[in-house]
A and B are shown apart, each in its own frame.
Chain A
Amino acid sequence: MDTRLFDLLPIGVMALDARRRVLAWNQWLTEHTSITPGQARGCTLGELFPNLINPRFDMAVDQALQGGGPQILSQTLHHYLVPIEVPHLARHGLGRMRQHVHIEATGHGDDAQVLVSIIDVTSSILKIEALTDIAQRLENDVNRDPLTRLFNRRFVWEWLEHQHKQALRYTYPIAAMMLDIDHFKAINDRHGHLIGDRVLQDFARLLTQKVREADIVARFGGEEFVILLPRCDGALAADVARRIVRRTREASLGDLSPGAVTCSAGVALFNPSDPLSASDLLREADRRLYQAKAHGRDRVVCPEEAS
């Protein structure tokens, strides 16, 4: 075949000999690397691109030469073979062209040749990354409460459904805590909705500061919040709840004086040896929250104290 035909291809094509020296270098490669066929011929890729270290490429060439058939280097695992700058895409975090590489050997022994094709897949990666960003943002919006940025009720059910199965399978406990800001309606009526919203935001911040990274803090609705603590026993959950109730009483939420805002909490425990369903777990926590309210608010009711 007339090797000049390779110059018409919209992909990079090079031929290497069995010692990996360039035999042919097409027009696409010249345009994108500014290396002419004359400069490339007789050199290895390592000599043409001194910073190029790709042991997998060498192995793939070996594999192709040893009768293993065509080899691919995916952009997912390598990003590129030949470094080609694409400066106008740097703002998208893609400074270099992403490449899908195909390697195939022909001939035998010293006459063997390796044909390396380089396909530019940068635009597909840009599209995938743009879609991933959108999906991530949508997922965030759909699972978050816009005022406090905590997780929302929808996420709590989704998380519980998954964790409930895991906890049963791997036998670990999950503690659930239901919390409610005391007399929130009165705070809203007396200080206005703007202050009310700030109380909710400050309370949300306080909750996230009191839990571990793996715990889930969610606004369940209105002034009601849920905390889910995987791999946490009843005693630890009760401690966390008591600390939250005490800190709320001492803090200045929404710039109101300390003590102006208090909260009540109910704690329930999912124990894999005597399992509750996910909905019963939240119902139990809610029942204890109402006991805490009934017993004068600003307090916690835990499993061992509940009746």
Chain B
Amino acid sequence: MRLSAEEQDATVELANIGISRAARQLSVLLDDEIRIGTPDVVLCESADEVVAALSHRPEEEVACVYQRLSGELMGQVVLLLAPRDTHALFHNLLGDGVMLHGVDVRAFEHEAMTELGNIIISSCVSAMADMLRQRIEVSIPRYSEARLDDLIEDGMSASRAALLIQARLQAAQREVDGVIALIFSASVAQQVLAAVRRITAS
């Protein structure tokens, strides 16, 4: 399954709406101008393709926030960040007060990351709910850290494909520059694409 140019455009626009909402909220939260670049959208056929598209090493440790979707749209959304990006982000956000040389107080990082992930995921999900005119139930956000390949395989075990959205996140006043990746599991991806097709066809 490949996206046509038109479907690709429509999906990017949908992702862009969600991500712009997230950027506005993050800007208020962090009291800084948060810029999230135009998202790159790829439909992946397998877990290996997701890992390859993320251009990380499969054995790399990543931090993620995930939320399960239920109701009319079933599946899972995962937000990924490389731990070095999360570390830089929170070092910047929380200051030196909670950081020790070589030892960081991870509990604070995890908590803040969960909130940031929650903002980005729910902004995208609410943009989808608007477009699909469907009710989407979302579970509470959970934080996890794992090897990239394990994480993707666990998340995709019952799936054949996934929708991968990547965008660059930068903060104007802080030295924060990282890539966020959102992975929608197959069932979500298929329903979103079906809706995109209906819209592009009409």
Which of B41-49, B55-63, B119-127, B168-176 has 4 or more CB atoms under 8 Å from chain A?
B119-127
Nearest to B70 among chain A residues (CB) is: A69
Q: 0/1 per residue, B110-143, Cβ < 8 Å to A? A: 0110110011011101100110000111111100
Q: In the complex, which residues of chain B have a beta carbon less than 8 angstroms from the beta carbon of A102?
A: 140
Contacts A128-B105, A132-B105: A72 and B140 contacting too (C-beta < 8 A)? Answer: yes
Task: Out of B94, B102, B103, B122, name the residue touching A71 (CB < 8 Å).
Answer: B122
Interface size counted on chain A using CB atoms at 8 A: 25
Whether the pair A66, B100 counts as a contact (CB closer than 8 A) is no
Whether the pair A70, B140 counts as a contact (CB closer than 8 A) is yes
Q: Smallest Cβ distance from B72 to chain A, in angstroms?
A: 11
Whether the pair A55, B28 counts as a contact (CB closer than 8 A) is yes
Whether the pair B111, A74 counts as a contact (CB closer than 8 A) is yes
Q: Which of A119-174 contact B (CB under 8 A)?
A: 128, 132, 135-136, 139, 143
Q: Which of A63-85 contact B (CB under 8 A)?
A: 63-64, 66-77
Q: Interface size for chain B: under 10, 10 to 19, 20 to 34, or 35 or more residues?
A: 35 or more
Whether the pair A63, B94 counts as a contact (CB closer than 8 A) is no
Q: Does B88 contact A (CB under 8 A)?
A: no
Q: Does A56 contact B (CB under 8 A)?
A: yes
Q: Smallest Cβ distance from B8 to chain A, in angstroms?
A: 25
| Cα-based distance from A102 to B140 in the complex (angstroms) | 9
Q: Does B101 contact A (CB under 8 A)?
A: yes
Q: Which of B70-104 contact A (CB under 8 A)?
A: 93-94, 98, 100-103
| Cα-based distance from A12 to B35 in the complex (angstroms) | 35
Q: In the complex, which residues of chain A have a beta carbon less than 8 angstroms from the beta carbon of B94?
A: 76
Q: 0/1 per residue, A243-263, Cβ < 8 Å to B? A: 000000000000000000000
Contacts A55-B28, A56-B28, A132-B100: A68 and B115 contacting too (C-beta < 8 A)? Answer: no
Q: Does B5 contact A (CB under 8 A)?
A: no
Whether the pair A135, B111 counts as a contact (CB closer than 8 A) is no
Q: In the complex, which residues of chain B have a beta carbon less than 8 angstroms from the beta carbon of A72?
A: 114-115, 118, 140-141
Q: Which of B105, B114, B118, B135 gathers most chain A CB within 10 Å? A: B118
Whether the pair A68, B140 counts as a contact (CB closer than 8 A) is no
Whether the pair A67, B115 counts as a contact (CB closer than 8 A) is no
Q: Does A112 contact B (CB under 8 A)?
A: no
Task: Out of A69, A73, A76, A100, name the residue touching B122 (CB < 8 Å).
Answer: A69
Task: Out of A55, A56, A63, A76, name the residue touching B126 (CB < 8 Å).
Answer: A63
| Cα-based distance from A75 to B121 in the complex (angstroms) | 20
Whether the pair A67, B67 counts as a contact (CB closer than 8 A) is no
Q: Does A11 contact B (CB under 8 A)?
A: no
Determine the main DSSP class of B at the interface with A. Answer: helix
Q: Smallest Cβ distance from B144 to chain A, in angstroms?
A: 15
Whether the pair A74, B112 counts as a contact (CB closer than 8 A) is yes
Contacts A63-B25, A77-B112: A71 and B118 contacting too (C-beta < 8 A)? Answer: yes
Task: Out of B98, B107, B114, B123, name the residue touching A68 (CB < 8 Å).
Answer: B123
Task: Out of B103, B111, B138, name the residue touching A69 (CB < 8 Å).
Answer: B138
Whether the pair B138, A139 counts as a contact (CB closer than 8 A) is no
Q: In the complex, which residues of chain A have a beta carbon less than 8 angstroms from the beta carbon of B21?
A: 63
Whether the pair B125, A69 counts as a contact (CB closer than 8 A) is yes
Nearest to A66 among chain B residues (CB) is: B126
Q: Smallest Cβ distance from B133 to chain A, in angstroms?
A: 10
Whether the pair A76, B129 counts as a contact (CB closer than 8 A) is no
Whether the pair B138, A70 counts as a contact (CB closer than 8 A) is yes
Contacts A56-B28, A70-B138, A139-B101: A76 and B125 contacting too (C-beta < 8 A)? Answer: no
Nearest to A65 among chain B residues (CB) is: B126
Nearest to B115 among chain A residues (CB) is: A74
Nearest to B117 among chain A residues (CB) is: A72
13 contacts between A and B (CB under 8 A): A56-B28, A59-B24, A63-B21, A63-B25, A67-B130, A68-B125, A69-B121, A69-B139, A70-B138, A73-B115, A102-B140, A132-B98, A143-B101
Shortest 4 CB-CB distances between A and B: which pairs? A69-B138, A68-B122, A68-B126, A67-B129
B binding-site residues for A, Cβ under 8 Å? 21, 24-25, 28-29, 67, 93-94, 98, 100-103, 105, 107-108, 111-112, 114-115, 118-119, 121-123, 125-126, 129-130, 135-141
- Additional A-B contacts beyond A69-B126, A132-B100 (6; CB < 8 A): A56-B25, A68-B125, A70-B122, A73-B115, A132-B98, A135-B100
